Amino acid sequence: MSKRTIAFMLTAVLILSLAVGCGSSTTSGGDNQYISIATGGTSGTYYPLGGAIAKIFNDNVEGVTANAQSTGASVENIGLVSKGETEIAFIQSDITFYAYEGIENFADTGKVENIRGMAMLYPEVVQIVANASAGINSIEDLRGKNVAIGAPGSGTEANARQILEAHGMTYDDLGKADYLSFGEAADQLKDNHIDAAFVTAGLPTSALVEVSTSNDIVVVPMNQSKLDELSAKYPFYTGVTIPGGSYRNNDNDVLAAAVMAMLVVPEDLDEDLMYNLTKQLFEQRQVIIDTHDRGNDIKLETAIEGMPIELHPGSARYYEEAGIK
């Protein structure tokens, strides 16, 4: 056999092997399904949880290669899901609702209707915290006070506006509505430049723990009837208990409203694939718990509580089989 013939045969084998390799790694239509999980910043909670979920899928769902991607979080992730640029995304439930209804952040861009719910994960609590010296013990006591309501256009700002609305109030009823970011609100509370602040975050919130070490603060409770009114109008809200002892000198449990971190997927994702992904998410939950404390809040029994949009049929099938309604 001549050198020329051997070279030709080697080239043919190389081309064939490349073709086979490419065919086995396609994101659709091949043997392997690639699952991109859009999370948030690498220093936040979404990213490590996304990594744990990717590990679950890689280890337990045949033919799936999953990877967590760092993103700008909820609002950006809505765009990635709706454009088919990611298969699963972490999004706050209120942002999901706004997108689906075409309101708040999405009033100018219109409804995003090609998204479906996979699972509710853990609460991000709307905490209303006041300096004890301000004499604020109820939401109605915020009248005439200087209150941080979140950065302009933020989820926290919408939470503040909606909770005040449920109590028959607007920003005009406050002494001053300060559009402050999370960090700014904590600093202003510490320096007694504001009386109270709305802070939407996981429990306990480290910035508020820090404030409580230097200031006497009060965690302001919600009334159950007002919480029911709020969730009736805005279905993404749920009620949670802020445990006594979360902050210094606040020893009693407090009822609060919360939005949920949730997983959102494109409506056209394969039903059988979504069934398997949802099933493994909960059956292998210990992997998430071992990765981050928030994993303890991810429970099958609360997986569809407060779901603000239609469930993906594959996820819905799993929940039905598991007796979750």
What average pLDDT does range 301-317 have in this prediction?
95
Tokens coding 203? 């429990």
Beta bridge partners of 317: none
Which residues 6+ apart lie within 8 Å of 267 measured at CB?
Answer: 114, 115, 116, 312
> Which pLDDT does position 274 carry in this prediction?
98
Q: Is the pLDDT of residue 15 over 80?
A: no
Looking at every residue in the chain, the average pLDDT score rounds to 89
Q: At what angle do helices 271-283 and 313-321 cross, to 10 degrees?
A: 50
What average pLDDT does range 194-210 have in this prediction?
89
Burial of 83 (0-12, 13-18, 19+ CB in 10 A): exposed
Measured distance CA(215)–CA(179) in Å, rounded: 22
- 322 C-beta neighbours (distance < 10 Å), count: 15
Q: How many CA atoms lie within 13 A of 19 on its CB side?
A: 6
> Which pLDDT does position 31 carry in this prediction?
64
State the Cα angle at 116 between 287 and 306, rounded to 5°: 75
Q: How is domain 29-122+261-321 classified at the architecture level of CATH?
A: 3-Layer(aba) Sandwich (3.40)
Tell me, what amino acid is at 116? Answer: R
Which residues 6+ apart lie within 8 Å of 194 measured at CB?
Answer: 146, 147, 148, 178, 180, 185, 188
Integer-rounded Cα radius of gyration of the chain: 24
Measured distance CA(300)–CA(17) in Å, rounded: 44
Tokens coding 81? 């899901």
Sign of dihedral through CA atoms 308, 169, 192, 214? negative
Bigger pLDDT: 22 vs 9: 9
Tokens coding 266? 């494109």
Tokens coding 164? 């005040």
Q: Domain ranges for the chain, please list them.
A: 29-122+261-321, 124-259
CATH number of the structural domain 124-259: 3.40.190.10
Nearest to 50 by CA among 103, 75, 83, 87: 87
Three-state SS for 76? helix
Q: What confidence tens digit (pLDDT) does each residue in 266-302 have? A: 999 999 999 999 999 999 999 999 999 889 999 999 9
Q: β-pairing, 196-201 with 146-148?
A: parallel
Bigger pLDDT: 239 vs 4: 239
Tokens coding 227? 């919480």
Tokens coding 251? 């020893």
What average pLDDT does range 148-161 have in this prediction?
87
> Which pLDDT does position 43 carry in this prediction?
67
What average pLDDT does range 101-126 have in this prediction?
94
Does this chain's domain 29-122+261-321 share its CATH topology with 124-259? yes
